[in-house]
């Protein structure tokens, strides 16, 4: 199914409601094979579309959250089916749906590059719009002095992309072929041939699973449990309250130290008795009088604060003695790392040891000329919405400069 959104003055605002796990449509499998046979792929795509059309009919009785998520898509017609079999051509294809992707789309569309953007369908178990759709109030994005809900912020970004002419498909990119130009970007439904590509697929914060850690009525995700101290640490529910951080690396030390600005005390919970963090970061955190360390321990349960729908405390298990104790905290922050969404690239771009895309210093250029990277997929240090948006701008400008260059070299417009 196409799920294409075209710019229109009457485009309905999409819903960014998160789907519950039982309502989620499985994300498409990742493929690492960039090669394909045109006729076979064409037949397979038609069959896939027909199969999906049937599945969407069955989804008619799904819950509100699933229907809301599908509001990103438009109805499929016979002409849509035909266009899905034909390769689409564009000067610029953008893969991603967060601040980096939409900022790139806005700049590229205003430069009349007529970009195509793929916003994944629950890619990495995250709704179109990226990581900001999993948070609540965003208070550190410029221009919103009263704060703005993460979902609404991404809805506005998307509307702005559409306004300037970006063509958006709600499809997960399964593989790419950067071995020759035009580059090929493939989903289950189509192939896009692009003169240039911006990869802005982000990175997913790692989370632990235990009773009370998830979403829904029995979980405290976004009700006291978070993965970003910088984003959420200053929230009223955390101020002057005891907080906890899980982790043993530099990120955990940084998060704990940051939280001491707002918390009454901060507990670092680590499953070992030795930290992976650098000695400098350990010294900075452990010398803070507000920080206490709980070594050789793991969280086995999170529970609520009476009848309130907020976190009230944790059950902590010592992995050496197996003793379970109670820790009263109002906030828990996972600081166990991130996983960049780069598997679908199939090793065609240079990655660092942690899987992030390597870019040329001072630019967004990757190891393949004409392919650019923006946002958290290439930024392991800052990982903020505003820095992602900044690199999205850079990537669009870099892509425009590249396209002008190859156009002048070939004596024609790309």
Are residues 230 and 370 located together in one domain of the fold? no
80, 228, 305, 393: the catalytic one is 228
- Does position 107 have pLDDT exceeding 80, yes or no? yes
Is pLDDT at 149 greater than 70 in this prediction?
Answer: yes
pLDDT at 45 over 70: no
**Quick one: 166 and 49 in the same domain?**
yes
Beta-strand ranges (E) seen in 157-224 are 167-169, 175-177, 183-186, 191-199, 203-205
**Whether the Cβ atoms of residue 343 and residue 175 lie closer than 8 Å to each other:** no
Task: Report the greatest alpha carbon distance in the chain.
Answer: 74
Predicted confidence band of residue 362 (pLDDT cuts 50, 70, 90): very high
Same domain, 278 and 382: no
Question: Among residues 319, 334, 349, which one ends one of the domains?
Answer: 334
124: tokens are 């990495």
> Same domain for 226 and 196?
no
Which segments of 236-295 does DSSP mark as H helices, in order?
Answer: 250-259, 279-286
The pLDDT-based confidence of 195 (bands split at 50, 70, 90) is very high
Specify whether the backbone of 337 is left (phi greater than 0), alpha (psi in -120 to 50) or beta: left
> Which residues on neighbouring strands pair with residue 246, listed in sequence order?
269, 334
Residue at which a domain ends, from 304, 334, 364: 334
Beta bridge partners of 88: 192
pLDDT tens for each residue of 57-85: 333 322 222 223 333 333 333 333 334 44
In the predicted structure, residue 34 carries a pLDDT above the cut 50? no
Checking DSSP bridges between strand 183-186 and strand 191-199, what pairing results, if any?
antiparallel
1 pLDDT more than 80? no
* pLDDT of 22 over the 90 cut: no
> For residues 45 and 55, which has the higher predicted lDDT (pLDDT)?
45
| Buried/exposed 370-404: b ≥16 CB within 10 Å, e otherwise | bbbbbbbbbbbeebbbebbbbbbbbbbbbbbebbe
Whether the per-residue pLDDT at 258 is higher than 50: the answer is: yes
Q: What's the rounded Cα separation, in Å, for the pair 293 and 265?
A: 11
Last residue of a domain, which of 334, 368, 397?
A: 334
Of 26-30, 267-271, 273-277, where does mean pLDDT reach its minimum? 26-30
Q: Of 373, 397, 219, 205, which Cα lies nearest the Cα of 301?
A: 219
Closest alpha carbon to 186 in 178, 200, 176, 199: 176
Mean pLDDT for the stretch of residues 222-245: 91
Share the mean pLDDT of the chain. Answer: 80
pLDDT band at 315 (very low <50, low <70, confident <90, very high): very high
Residue 397 pLDDT grade (very low, low, confident, very high; cuts 50, 70, 90): very high
Residue 44: pLDDT above 70?
A: no
Quick one: 199 and 224 in the same domain? no
Is the model's pLDDT at 48 over the cut of 60? Answer: no
Greater model confidence, 338 or 143 = 143
pLDDT greater than 50 at residue 240: yes
**Which residues on adjacent β-strands are paired with residue 321?**
none
List 188, 231, 379, 398, catalytic entry: 231
Distances (CA, A) of 200 to 197, 297, 340, 366: 10, 36, 10, 12
* CA 256/CA 238 separation, integer angstroms: 13
Domain membership of residue 291 as a residue range? 207-334
Q: Say how many domains are in the chain.
A: 2
Q: Can 228 be counted among the known catalytic residues?
A: yes
Residues 181 and 219 reside in one and the same domain: no
166 and 282 housed in the same domain? no
**What tens digit of pLDDT does each residue of 82-105 get?**
344 456 999 999 999 999 999 999
pLDDT of residue 50: 41
Question: In the predicted model, is pLDDT for residue 19 greater than 50?
Answer: no
- Same structural domain, 187 and 231: no
Q: 163: which 2 tokens?
A: 């306004």
In this predicted structure, the answer to whether residue 229 has a pLDDT above a threshold of 70 is: yes
The pTM for the full model equals 0.66
231 is catalytic: yes
Among the options 232, 250, 376, 398, which is catalytic?
232
Same domain, 246 and 307: yes
Domain of residue 270, CATH code: 3.50.50.60
Residue 35 pLDDT greater than 60, yes or no:
no
320 and 344 housed in the same domain: no
Whether the predicted pLDDT of 284 surpasses 80: yes
146 and 234 inside one domain: no
Same domain, 250 and 323: yes
Give me the percent of the chain exceeding a pLDDT of 70: 74
């Amino acid at each position: 199914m196409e799920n294409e959104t075209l710019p229109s003055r009457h485009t309905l605002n999409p819903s960014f409601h998160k789907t519950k796990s039982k309502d989620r449509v499985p994300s498409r499998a990742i493929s690492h094979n960039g090669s394909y046979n045109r006729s076979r792929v064409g037949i397979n795509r038609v069959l896939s579309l027909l199969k999906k059309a049937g599945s969407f009919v069955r989804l008619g009785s799904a819950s509100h959250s699933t229907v809301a998520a599908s509001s990103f898509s438009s109805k499929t017609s016979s002409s849509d089916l035909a266009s899905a079999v034909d390769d689409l051509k564009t000067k610029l294809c953008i893969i991603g749906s967060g601040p980096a992707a939409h900022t790139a789309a806005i700049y590229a569309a205003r430069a009349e590059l007529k970009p195509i953007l793929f916003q994944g369908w629950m890619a990495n178990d995250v709704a179109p719009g990226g990581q900001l759709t999993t948070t609540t109030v965003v208070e550190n994005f410029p221009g919103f002095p009263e704060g703005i809900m993460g979902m609404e912020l991404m809805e506005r970004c998307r509307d702005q992309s559409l306004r300037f002419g970006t063509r958006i498909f709600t499809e997960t990119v399964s593989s790419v072929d950067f071995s020759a130009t035009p580059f090929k970007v493939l989903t289950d439904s189509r192939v896009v041939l692009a003169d240039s590509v911006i990869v802005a697929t982000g990175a997913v914060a790692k989370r632990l699973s235990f009773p009370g850690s998830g979403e829904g009525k029995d979980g405290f995700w976004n009700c006291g449990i978070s993965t970003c101290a910088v984003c959420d640490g200053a929230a009223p529910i955390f101020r002057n309250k005891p907080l906890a951080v899980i982790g043993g690396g530099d990120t955990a030390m940084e998060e704990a130290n940051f939280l001491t600005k707002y918390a009454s005390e901060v507990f670092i919970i680590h499953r070992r008795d030795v930290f992976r963090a650098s000695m400098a970061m350990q010294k900075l955190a452990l010398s803070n009088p507000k920080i206490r360390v709980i070594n050789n321990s793991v969280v086995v349960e999170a529970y609520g604060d009476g009848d309130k729908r907020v976190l009230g405390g944790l059950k902590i298990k010592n992995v050496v003695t197996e003793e379970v104790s109670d820790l009263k905290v109002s906030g828990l922050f996972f600081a166990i790392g991130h996983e960049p969404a780069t598997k679908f690239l199939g090793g065609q771009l240079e990655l660092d040891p942690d899987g992030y895309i390597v870019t040329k210093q001072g630019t967004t250029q990757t190891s393949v000329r004409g392919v650019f990277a923006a946002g958290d997929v290439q930024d392991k240090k800052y990982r903020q919405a505003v820095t992602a948006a900044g690199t999205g701008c850079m990537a669009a400008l870099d892509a425009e400069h590249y396209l002008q260059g190859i156009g002048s070299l070939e004596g024609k417009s790309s």
